[in-house]
Amino acid sequence: MIRRLLKKSEASEPVQESNAGHNKTYANASKNADCSEFEVNNWIVSEFIVDRLVPIVGTHPFPLTELTLMSASVVRFRPKAIFEWGTHIGKSARIFYETARAFDIACQVHSFDLPDDVEHVEHPHEQRGELVRGLPVKLYQEDGVTGALRICRKGKISDDKVLFFVDGDHEYGSVKRELAAIAKNHPRAKILLHDTFYQSPKSHYNVGPWKAVEEFTKNNKSYKRVSTNTGLPGMTLLYKAK
């Protein structure tokens, strides 16, 4: 089975820090928040992505479709806290931080990766969190879902204002366990998951995350699902309509 792994060359793809427009804030791009379907103003979100995000994080591992779903989720749901794993070099953490800042959303990003002595093919070691170094993003080293649930409980934030981003080991069993734990403890939280693209077996892709999402949504029919599905790696948003 071929697994999509973030190669070292991808991880260290040149990231050009640009100050162009860095302090610009954007108009509220959430649309029809009282309706059942997810919607944002795509033009405003696109302008933000092109001007602000791409110069910082590039398009690996998150292509434009996924940068859109990540930033649109923050813009639409205005979370007070985001819990994500794994941190790796900090691209997703930086994307969430920049989005909240640009759209004037008071939100704390918490990012988890495994301890240094835990073996994992993608463990970033000394590069862990380098894209958020010096920024007010909280970094932790422990199993993501375990730490996230503990800290989320302490923060006493309404479930509705919490966003989880699941981007750990991409195994079917892990994603299934993580989704179940989030839904049980924070039933109204929004959930974004990475590497959820489905392709038929001849592709030899790892479709474990897709399978976990598929089963979860069959058993939890109150969740709505928005997915990027034009190609790898694929991202899915799960949320409950009001």
Ligand X SMILES: C[S@@+](CC[C@H](N)C(=O)[O-])C[C@H]1O[C@@H](n2cnc3c(N)ncnc32)[C@H](O)[C@@H]1O
Cβ proximity to ligand X: between 44 and 233 the closer is: 233
Between CA 1 and CA 3 the distance in angstroms is 6
Indicate whether 98 belongs to the interface with ligand X (CB under 6 A): no
Considering only 162, 169, 183, 206, the residue that binds ligand X (CB under 6 A) is 169
Q: Does residue 66 belong to the site contacting ligand X (CB under 6 A)?
A: no
Q: List the end-to-end C-alpha distance of the chain, in Å, as a whole number.
A: 39
Q: Among residue numbers 1 through 20, which ones bind ligand X (CB under 6 A)?
A: 6
User: Residue 66: CA atoms inside 13 Å, Cβ hemisphere, count?
Assistant: 26
Segment near ligand X (CB under 6 A), from 111-119, 150-158, 196-204, 207-215? Answer: 111-119
Q: Is 112 in the site for ligand X (CB under 6 A)?
A: yes
Question: Could you give the CA distance from residue 155 to residue 199 in angstroms, rounded to a whole number?
Answer: 39
Q: Is 143 in the site for ligand X (CB under 6 A)?
A: yes
Task: Please identify, among the stretches 27-35, 69-77, 165-173, 221-229, the one whose residues bind ligand X according to the rule CB under 6 A.
Answer: 165-173
> What count of other Cβ atoms lies within 10 Å of the Cβ of residue 131?
21
Contact 120, 92 (CB under 8 A): no
Measured at the CA of 181, the angle between CA 176 and CA 184, to 5 degrees, comes to 120
Q: Is 120 in the site for ligand X (CB under 6 A)?
A: yes
Beta carbons of 53 and 100 less than 8 angstroms apart:
no
Question: Does 168 engage in binding with ligand X (CB under 6 A)?
Answer: yes
Contact residues for ligand X (CB under 6 A)? 6, 85-86, 88-92, 112-114, 120, 122-124, 143-144, 167-169
